[in-house]
Amino acid sequence: MRYGFKAGWISTRAFSSVIPQRGNIAFTSPLAHIPLWRLNTCYSLSQNRTMASAKSIQLSVEDSGVFSSNPRADSAKKASQLLQEDMKSHHIFFNDSGFHNHTVHHVLSIFALGASPEDIQSAFDRAAEYQRPARPVNEDIVKKLSNRDEFKALAGTREAYPHFLEFFQREIEARGTEEVVNEYIFAGDEFADDMLARTFGGLVHPFIHLGFALEFKQPALVAQALAQTAVHEPNMKGFFMSAEKQAGGVGQTGKKTLIELQAECRADPRVRDSAHWSDTNKFFDGVLKRAPEEMAKIAGEFTVGPDQIEERVAELINAVVYYTGAAQNPPKKIKFDFFYIHCVNSAIFLPVFLALPWISRHNKQRLLEWKGRMDLLTYVSRATLSLVLTRSLTTSRLGRGTKCSQRIVNKKRRRPCC
């Protein structure tokens, strides 16, 4: 992987359900087959079987994610201990630039793929080398966060993460995950819409963290995810609301696929050429500065009707794997774009959100719409790359099961990722 190892441990699980593990992968069709039964059955609705709580991480092999390969009970114990230590000892950002602590993502991914306790300890130790220490909690600030005005005044401040973490741990202890997530993310008011937009900030890391938390049924990680969300900016909100207005609201019957909308982005020169190499931030200094209306119009054409949820979630996963795999430049070596990989990484959690009965159908439709629109914006932000459909690549003979997973978890992470 060109930009470091981080993409490998999450995307391995995401790609595993849609591409073969060995042989030739030919991008000859924009709509690869994705079995809907896999999306429907891969995530159980049963309650967490452990004593996990808002302040205690307790993993189990029964709750080992949407895609797993022989997870081990001793590894569940080791991963629980290390993630508890990470929550206690490390900040959510490992530098002043806001680069994210990926320890949770790494440990949970390799646990699900069958890593041994020794593998998990090694991964944790490598990540711990560059983490910043956790900061103390200010009790006075925590108490103020129950006031919406005080909350909004502190939101977006990275240094406030420990206060938000303590606040959300107490909220979840008192009211439960379902009520807290629905209030702070899915309530549909201005406050919750700000928070929903923040989940897509920081290259969708809050969304990914919340996905992991819900996937592995860990209330403490939900608190982490909500705290991480709170300290990101809602910069994407204007784009999302504009696209939603263009769509005529939430849940309109979708008439165009994401593949068709990708083609529309390439066909519109203002959109296609809106991101420049010289832009510091290709999203805000590029696409949303030079073609905000055009981008919102195209993005608003991706909608999810009441009877399209299963179809659209399969399409969302397919579409990001499609443009991530096909965005190549022959005869140069095949590589995968760092930003596109984040769209793949986050797609694996869509079945998790859809499986939760306490998220309303309306909010599931809206979440899928926002995710699809974010994926389109990300596609354009990388210069709306042409997609090569006729080139084949030959993967190494990974096989399946334990041997395949072991080769993945034994890889050494080359350097920290954002």
Return the domain boundaries, the chain: 6-133+392-409, 139-230, 237-381
Beta partners for residue 23, in sequence order? 395
Residues 211-245 have pLDDT tens digits of 999 999 999 999 999 999 999 999 999 999 999 99
The first and second tokens of residue 214, run together, are: 């819900």
Looking at per-residue pLDDT, the higher value among 69 and 270 belongs to: 270
CB burial of residue 221 (10 Å; 0-12, 13-18, 19+): buried
Look at residue 394 and give its three-state secondary structure: strand
Q: Is the CA virtual torsion 60, 63, 65, 71 positive or negative?
A: positive
pLDDT value, residue 200: 98
pTM over 0.75: yes
pLDDT of 27 over the 90 cut: no
pLDDT of 11 over the 80 cut: no
pLDDT (mean) for 333-347: 94
Hey, what amino acid is at 391? R
Q: Which of 165, 376, 143, 151 is nearest to 256 (CA)?
A: 376
The percentage of the chain sitting over the pLDDT mark of 70, rounded to a whole number, equals: 81
The percentage of the chain sitting over the pLDDT mark of 90, rounded to a whole number, equals: 72
| Distance between start and end Cα atoms, the chain | 15
pLDDT value, residue 95: 74
Residues 135-175 have pLDDT tens digits of 999 999 999 999 999 999 999 999 999 999 999 999 999 99
pLDDT value, residue 99: 80
pLDDT of 97 over the 80 cut: no
pLDDT of 38 over the 60 cut: no
